[in-house]
């Protein structure tokens, strides 16, 4: 068996994810979930940094702690999946003998109605942003294409094809490429922003389509705040 502390295993696992082309957002999520589990172990065990000491009961109690913190079934299921992947990695690399998370049943996800906008809300949202070509184009891209925030943040100039009326998404879930037809309303909004973008003098990330005011790429967090504002 390979001698490695839990913290060392954590860092090696994150590097392995990056080496396997996991997205930055996915790696951040894994890191947050594992860090939370490690912090839990620190609070209940003296030998928390020894991965060989992790037992099935530790994970069950961690899930119970999350439940007591009113975390949703969806959140708990995701965190369990992160731990399974992490501990499977440690097992495959001979750090631990078995995966103690393997037989734990994931929490049931709550049934929720999908969040939708009524027609008047849809129009009101766009009306609020009509004075800002970039924000208007971002909101309309979400509404017309179903693109994810991380995918929108990763859009490159070459991905927006006005000649063939196609939007190419290259940074989607699982790194799969897909194309989305550009409807006339969306095409017009993107063209107007593209014309404004050409006049921006402080561009840093020259290949990125949607830019922040300082000329750098927008990150998913910034896009989330933008949508919440409207």
Say how far apart CA 91 and CA 156 lie, in whole Å: 39
Mean pLDDT to the nearest integer, 15-39: 94
Q: What is the pLDDT of residues 36-57, one digit of tens each?
A: 999 999 999 899 999 999 999 9
Of 97, 89, 79, the residue nearest 14 (C-alpha): 89
Higher local confidence (pLDDT), 189 or 112: 189
- For 26-40, 113-127, 129-143, 196-210, which range has the lowest pLDDT when averaged over its residues? 113-127
Of 3, 9, 21, the residue nearest 85 (C-alpha): 9
Q: Does domain 119-229 have CATH number 3.30.930.10?
A: no
Is 70 exceeded by the pLDDT of residue 112?
A: no
How far, in Å, are 33, 117, 119, 125 from residue 114 at the CA level?
25, 10, 15, 18
> In which band, very low, low, confident or very high, does the pLDDT at 227 lie, cut at 50, 70 and 90?
very high
Identify the bridge partners of residue 156 per DSSP, sorted by sequence position. 208
Task: Report the b/e string of 212-225 with b at 16+ CB within 10 A.
Answer: beeeebbbbeebee
Q: What is the pLDDT of residues 167-195, one digit of tens each?
A: 998 765 555 788 999 999 999 999 999 99
> In which band, very low, low, confident or very high, does the pLDDT at 155 lie, cut at 50, 70 and 90?
very high
Is 90 exceeded by the pLDDT of residue 32?
A: yes
CATH topology of domain 6-92: DNA polymerase; domain 1 (1.10.150)
- pLDDT score for 146: 86
Q: What is the pLDDT of residues 133-148, one digit of tens each?
A: 999 999 999 999 889 9
Over the chain, what is the mean pLDDT?
Answer: 91
- pLDDT score for 175: 59
Mean pLDDT to the nearest integer, 109-121: 75
Q: Where are the domains of the chain?
A: 6-92, 119-229
pTM above the 0.75 mark? no
- If one counts every other C-beta atom within 10 angstroms of the C-beta of residue 44, the result is 11
Is 90 exceeded by the pLDDT of residue 79?
A: yes
Which residues, 6+ apart, have CB-to-CB distance to 77 below 8 Å? 106, 107, 109
Identify the bridge partners of residue 181 per DSSP, sorted by sequence position. 166
């Amino acid at each position: 068996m390979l001698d490695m502390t839990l913290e060392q295993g954590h860092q090696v696992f994150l590097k392995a994810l990056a080496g396997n082309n996991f997205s930055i957002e996915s790696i951040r999520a894994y890191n947050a979930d594992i860090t939370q589990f490690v912090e839990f172990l620190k609070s209940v065990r003296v030998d928390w940094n020894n991965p060989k000491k992790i037992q099935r009961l530790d994970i069950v109690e961690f899930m119970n702690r999350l439940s007591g913190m009113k975390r949703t079934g969806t959140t708990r299921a995701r965190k369990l999946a992160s731990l399974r992947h992490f501990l499977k990695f440690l097992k495959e690399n001979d750090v631990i003998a078995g995966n103690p998370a393997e037989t734990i049943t994931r929490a049931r996800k709550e049934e929720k109605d999908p969040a939708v906008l009524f027609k008047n809300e849809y129009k009101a949202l766009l009306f609020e942003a009509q004075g800002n070509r970039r924000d208007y184009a971002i909101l309309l891209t979400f509404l017309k294409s179903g693109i994810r925030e991380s995918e929108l943040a990763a859009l490159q100039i070459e991905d927006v094809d006005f000649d063939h009326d196609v939007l190419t998404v290259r940074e989607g879930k699982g790194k799969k490429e897909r194309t989305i037809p550009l409807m006339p309303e969306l095409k017009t909004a993107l063209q107007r922003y593209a014309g404004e973008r050409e006049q921006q003098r402080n561009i840093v990330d020259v290949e990125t389509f949607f830019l922040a005011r300082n000329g750098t790429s927008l990150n998913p967090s910034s896009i989330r705040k933008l949508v919440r504002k409207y």
